[in-house]
Each structure stands twice: as C-alpha cells, then as structure tokens.
Structure 1
Amino acid sequence: MFHPDKQILIEIVKTRMPFGKYKDSLLCDLPVSYLEWFQRKGGFPPGKLGMQLATVFEIKSNGLEEIIYKLKKMNLRG
C-alpha cells in the first residue's frame, strides 16, 4: 500500500518545478506523461525534488488524484 510522507504531500501542492518544459508549474499539476518521461530517461533527480516527483507519479499513475484535489483545496483555505 502506498503511504506517502505527509510533509511531501503538502509540498507537492506548493512547490513549483524549478526547470524544464514545465518550469514554474506546481509539481502536483505536472502531467503523468512528463513524469513517465523522467522514468524512461534514467529516473527522477536525486534528493528532495526527486522524492516529490516520485510521489506525484505514484499518486497519478495509481488513480489517486483525489488526494491532490483535497490537498489543493486545503492549501487554498490556508
């Protein structure tokens, strides 16, 4: 069962992609096709960003986008 770290979940709806085609997009808004591309090209970057991208990939590739929608709503309310 997939159990992401709570802090990483909060971060993926607040953090923006720092580079590439989707620079400045929220990590949670990245298309799954882009995340799949990362995997084909050797995997996600090392460190925190890689963990965040892997989390978004797991959520989206397993049909759990509801998690992202709820987090975004909570984040907008503050």
Structure 2
Amino acid sequence: MEELTPDPKLLLELAETKMPFGKYAGRLLIDLPEPYVVWFKQKGFPSGKLGKQLETVYVIKANGLEHLFDPLR
C-alpha cells in the first residue's frame, strides 16, 4: 500500500486561513472543533476553495491525524 505524504504547502495554508463566517468566524481552520467540521460534512461543504479546505480539515481530524497540525501552531 502506498503511503500518502501530506503537502506541506497545503497544510501551511490551512494553518494560516481563518474561518470567514459563522459561529467560529476568525478562528483558524486547523483550530475548528471536530464536531463543527463533521456538521459541515453532513450538511455539505461550501463551494470553492474554502469548501475544499474544510473537507481537508475534516479528513485530517476524522482520521486522527491532527498531529500534522502541531508544528504549524
């Protein structure tokens, strides 16, 4: 099985992007609570770049890979 290597540029961008709206407006995407990104997964991610970023955060958090964010904090 091929091992996936995270794209450092993508992770850095996630660490620098703030949630632009909603209950957690202004919070970094990597610091959003897991239940919040799970809610987006259930309701549907927004379109565009933000949606892709939120989906990436969801996949990382849902798979217990949050340690990937540690060096970025």
RMSD of equivalent CA atoms: 1.5
Alignment of 1:1-78 (within 5 A): 3-41=5-43, 43-72=44-73
Q: Give the aligned length.
A: 71
Gaps spanning 5+ residues in structure 2: where? none
Q: Check the 8 A contact 1:17/1:26 in 2, yes or no.
A: yes
* Greater relative contact order (CA < 8 Å, ≥ 6 in sequence): 1
After TM superposition, which residue ranges in structure 1, 4 or more long, deviate above 3 angstroms?
Answer: 1-6
Deviation sequence 1:11-40 (CA, Å, 0-9, x none): 111110000000000000001100111121
* C-alpha contact 1:13 1:26 (8 A) present in aligned 2: yes
